[in-house]
Amino acid sequence: MKVTFLGTSHGVPGADRYCTSLLLEAGGYYYILDGGAPVGDLLCRMGIGMEKIRAVFNTHAHGDHFLGLLSFIDLVNWYFGDTEMTVFVPREIQVQFIKDMSLVTENRPLSERITVKKFEVGTVYEDELISVTAERTDHLRGGDDFFSYAFTVTEKA
């Protein structure tokens, strides 16, 4: 598995650092961990075929981990019609927010090619290449569903 750090900033982008985002590559497919800005732009500049992106995993809803994901989803929804992906978020309000965003920006429902799911602790995702599990962290706590998560990604042999 190849890991590329797209952004490593602590929340405020700098001239040489973008907000938090990782790109994982396994078996010719891609997976994104967190969507700090400008994740979509960086993928385009890298020549990543959007149709090769299978899933996105969001650790928490702070802007530096989530807001770049919104523009990326909007771009895939509008332009990259061959992309089918699942977006995993920790809060139900984020699921609805993403769906509402499509109505606001495109005046149409989010494409069926893009599935948005709330995840829980435990196994979040599994395909023939990787498995992803989530566990809560102490980064933030604030209410019944306002938590941060860490992901363990295991490449299958």
SS3 for 74-116 is HHHHHCCCCCCEEEEECCHHHHHHHHHHHHHHHCCCCCCCEEE
| Active-site residue, selected from the candidate residues 16, 34, 41, 64 | 64
What secondary structure letter does DSSP report for 14?
Answer: B
Residue 52 buriedness (CB in 10 A; 0-12 / 13-18 / 19+): middle
Please provide the average confidence, as pLDDT, over all residues in the chain: 94
Chain segment 8-46, per-residue pLDDT in tens: 988 888 888 999 999 999 999 999 999 988 999 999 999
pLDDT of residue 38: 92
pLDDT of residue 15: 87
Phi first, then psi, for residue 65 (nearest 5°) are -110, -10
Chain segment 115-128, per-residue pLDDT in tens: 999 999 999 999 99
Sign of the dihedral defined by the CA atoms of residues 20, 24, 29, 31, in that order: negative
Chain segment 68-89, per-residue pLDDT in tens: 999 999 999 999 999 999 999 9
Active site residue 64: yes
Question: Between vectors from CA 134 to CA 45 and to CA 89, what angle results, nearest 5°?
Answer: 55
